[in-house]
């Protein structure tokens, strides 16, 4: 029953977004909604969504707690996986922007950089949507000085 309620609310929210936003933006936000629910169902505590660094350099899709770890989650969504998995779109420039935004978040929150992890969630809009969670996609042992 709860699942039906969630799907109905998601469909209505997505319909409203499609009317106001470009199709790709609406699809990306729908992917973030699904990733958010996926993380919460697995015990993560979501502490922020769409966090923008003050410098304007980057945006963190989801910031969550997984036990003691502070997890920065990049959500990549695609209509199909015809051209490969969505995470292939994370190039070195995107990685640098994520690191800069994460550094800003950690500095402002007072978190310990040694307790930071970077994950990616791929959402492919098959029927039903396919969600793949990639943990610890890149390692950063010291706080980056970017």
Q: Is pLDDT at 146 greater than 50 in this prediction?
A: no
Looking at the chain, list the stretches that DSSP marks H as alpha helix, in order from N- to C-terminal side: 2-20, 23-41, 92-109
Q: For residues 144 and 13, give the distance between their C-alpha atoms in angstroms, rounded to a whole number.
A: 37
Secondary-structure class of domain 2-134 per CATH = alpha beta
Residue spans per domain, the chain: 2-134
Encode pLDDT of 25-79 as tens digits: 777 888 998 999 999 999 999 999 989 887 778 899 999 999 999 999 999 988 8
User: What pLDDT does 53 receive?
Assistant: 81
Encode pLDDT of 4-20 as tens digits: 666 676 666 656 655 56
Encode pLDDT of 109-136 as tens digits: 999 999 999 999 999 988 888 999 999 9
Length of the chain: 146
């Amino acid at each position: 029953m709860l699942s039906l309620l969630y799907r109905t609310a998601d469909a209505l929210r997505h319909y409203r977004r499609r009317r106001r936003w470009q199709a790709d933006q609406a699809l990306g936000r729908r992917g973030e909604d699904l990733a958010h629910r996926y993380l919460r169902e697995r015990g993560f505590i979501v502490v922020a969504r769409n966090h923008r660094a003050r410098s304007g350099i980057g945006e963190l899709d989801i910031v969550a707690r997984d036990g003691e770890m502070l997890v920065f989650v990049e959500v990549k969504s695609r209509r199909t996986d015809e051209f490969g998995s969505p995470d292939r779109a994370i190039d070195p420039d995107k990685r640098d922007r994520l690191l800069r935004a994460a550094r800003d978040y950690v500095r402002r929150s007072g978190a310990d950089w040694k307790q930071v992890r970077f994950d990616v969630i791929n959402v492919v809009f098959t029927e039903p949507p396919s969600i793949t969670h990639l943990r610890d996609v890149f390692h950063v042992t010291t706080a980056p000085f970017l």
